[in-house]
Amino acid sequence: MTRVEIIWDSRLKACDVDCGADWSRPAVLEEARQALARRFGESVTLGLVDIAADTAARRRYGTEQGIPLLVVNGTVRLSGQFDIRRVIDAVETEQEIGVNER
CB-based contacts of 26: which residues, under 8 Å, 6+ apart? none
78: domain CATH number is 3.40.30.10
**Residues facing 48 on adjacent strands:** 6
Query: How many structural domains is the chain composed of?
Result: 1
**Whole domain around residue 90: which residue ranges?**
2-101
pLDDT of the chain, 102 residues: tens digit per residue: 999 999 999 888 665 555 668 888 999 999 999 999 999 999 999 999 999 999 999 999 887 678 899 999 999 999 999 999 999 999 999 998 875 554
Whole-prediction pTM: 0.88
At residue 102, the pLDDT reads: 45
Is residue 71 classed exposed, middle or buried when 0-12, 13-18 and 19+ CB atoms within 10 A define those classes?
Answer: buried
CB-based contacts of 62: which residues, under 8 Å, 6+ apart? none
**Residues facing 76 on adjacent strands:** 71
